[in-house]
Structure 1
Amino acid sequence: MTLCVTFSLVTGIVWVSSDSEDTPSGTAARGSDAAGGGREPFRRAPHTPGEHVPASHAPLVPSRPLKVTIPAIFIEAPVTGLGLDAKGRLKAPPLSKPKLTGWYERGPSPGEDGTALLVGHRDTRTGPAIFLNLNALRRGDKVNVVRADRRTAVFTVDAVKTYTKDKFPDDKVYGETGRPELRLLTCGGRFDAKAGYSANVVVFAHLTALGKAA
């Protein structure tokens, strides 16, 4: 059963978070728009229009990500590299490790010039997963990515959007912007037992600083 699908006309990526075991538990499995695991999603105040967006930091050299932290929603998670399967679909992190995030390693690394991509499960059959509360982020929140070169790339969130599968804006999500950017993706919308989740949550962020060496 396919739960979560995104398409990219720009990079050729298709992300399919699907598996016979990847069935949300608890509330979501009953068709609610709340996340699985029988627990209410973390909720924060809505975005504030007109907030200042800091200028982008200069691009970093390529270096693979090791860990991502998002203080606003209490996330600290290791990162694993992901490739494409035989059908050209971006693989998802292992279902046995729901607290793991995945980086599309054939694309830019976080902090490098271009649009880097990190994905994670919202929930699995065993309960909530790492990106359960991703849609609670708001403009101005920070996403920190620790890299193998011991630098921490600090990203500032510009927007959080939810797109239905049939209206997913490939160019906007995956396209080049002329500066170092980051996208965080997970499943979103309502869950249907046959069709899976109806949408994707996408966090748009750009590089604004370097943190202390890890």
Structure 2
Amino acid sequence: MKPGAAGLLAVTALVAAGCSSESGTGPTYTNPASEDTATSTPAAPTTTPRITNPPTTTPRPTTPANPTPHKRTKPTPVLRPKPTAEPTRPRRPTSQRPRSVRQAPMRKSAPTRIVIPAIGVDSSLIRLGLDRRGSLQVPPHGFPAGWFTGGPTPGETGPAVIVGHVRWAGRPGVFGPLRDVRAGDKIAVTRNDRTTATFRVTRISQYSKSTFPSAAVYGNLDHAGLRLITCSGLDSTSGKFEANLVVFADLIR
């Protein structure tokens, strides 16, 4: 807020008082009585003597030789009262988190490579199908990762699936660091048509193999998605993995 106007000043006025006087009444004059020459006794006056008043004058105020000058009182500034509370500052507009804008799907093209910069994964891709039991095949070795050919290619509408081992022969596999991926990390998949489908991780979930939610992982989508799958939940007694780690991601370009 802009500061207010300056405080007002009170002005002290000087008032000069004038002097006043009343005029008195002068003495009354009477004519002396006339003596009657005919009689020896005095006679009463025949006429009423006229009373004359002398002119009245108002004395002028005398000014002293060295008049004492009046001292001017300095104007007393009127100070604004201090605010009892801090003025309310305008709130800044709250910035809302922009919603993720989904990219239009890409044309069909087989993937050839996957790169996850945040965790240092860089692998070529092989093709995987279904085994005799109808389950998803797994890569024959710890490297490289594999793309499931029964689903859409990365960038097409639907959930593209890429799988890899977390460990192989006692050593970390291609997806060994997958547990360190975080929401917001990017995944780049190079395709046969020399284009790159870039995905952003939305969430990471772990599911027991006995209750794996196939519909949630492999179900139809209205946009281009990606699923990265590896083993997790190592049982120290049996030495087997009892769960699967699934990374969900959406196409951003």
Report the TM-score when normalising by structure 1. Answer: 0.70
Query: Secondary structure of the residue that 1:156 maps to in structure 2?
Result: strand
Q: Do the aligned partners of residues 74 and 51 (structure 1) sit closer, same or farther apart at CA in structure 2, a change above 3 Å counting?
A: farther
- 2:64 is equivalent to residue 64 of structure 1: no
Q: 1:77 aligns with which of 123, 131, 134?
A: 123
Which of 186, 189, 197 aligns to 2:230? It is 186
Within the alignment, does 1:122 sit opposite 2:166 as a pair? Answer: yes
- Residues 102 and 87 of structure 1: is their aligned pair in 2 closer, same or farther, counting only changes over 3 Å? same
Alignment partner of 2:136 out of 76, 79, 90 = 90
2:190 maps to 1:146 = yes
CA distance in 2, matches of 1:132, 1:52: 32
Aligned residues: percent identity?
Answer: 40
When the two chains are superposed, the root-mean-square deviation of aligned CA atoms in Å is: 1.7
2:175 and 2:115 map into 1 onto residues whose CA distance is: 11
Shift of 1:177: 2.0
Matched, 1:132 2:176: yes
Structure 1 consecutive aligned stretches of length 4 or more whose deviation exceeds 4 Å: 50-53
**Alignment partner, residue 107 of structure 1:** 151
1:58 & 1:90 partners in 2: Cα distance?
A: 28
Aligned to 2:22: none
Cα distance in 1, alignment partners of residues 189 and 245 from structure 2:
19
Query: In structure 2, what is the Cα distance between the partners aligned to 1:79 and 1:62?
Result: 16
Provide closer, same or farther for how the CA distance between residues 52 and 133 of structure 1 changes in structure 2, counting only shifts above 3 A: farther
> Equivalents in 2 of 1:114, 1:155: separation in Å?
13
Q: What SS class does the counterpart of residue 176 from structure 2 fall into?
A: coil
Q: Which has the higher contact order (CA 8 A, sep 6+)?
A: 1
Where do 5+ consecutive residues of structure 2 fail to align?
A: 1-95
Is the alpha carbon distance of 1:56 and 1:186 closer, same or farther for their aligned partners in structure 2, counting shifts above 3 Å? same
Q: Report how far residue 170 of structure 1 moved.
A: 1.6
AA partner of residue 184 (structure 2): G
Contact 1:53 1:140 in 2 (8 A): no
Contact between 1:53 and 1:158, CA under 8 Å: does it hold in 2?
A: no
Q: Which is greater in Rg?
A: 2
SS in 2 for 1:166: helix
SS, match of residue 88 in structure 1 = coil
CA–CA separation in structure 2 for the residues paired with 1:89 and 1:128: 24
Distance in 2 (CA, whole Å) between partners of 1:161 and 1:198 is: 14
**What SS is found at the alignment partner of 1:90?**
coil
Q: Aligned-pair distance for 1:91?
A: 1.4
Which amino acid in structure 2 is aligned with residue 189 of structure 1? Answer: G
CA deviations over 1:42-86 (Å, ceiling 9, x no partner) = xxxxxxxx9766221100111000000000000100001101122
CA distance in 2, matches of 1:203, 1:51: 23
Q: TM-score, normalised by structure 2?
A: 0.59
CA distance in 2, matches of 1:204, 1:121: 17
Q: Which letter does structure 2 place at the counterpart of 1:86? A: R
Number of matched pairs:
158
**CA, structure 1 residues 126+192, in 2 after alignment: closer, same or farther (shift >3 Å)?**
closer
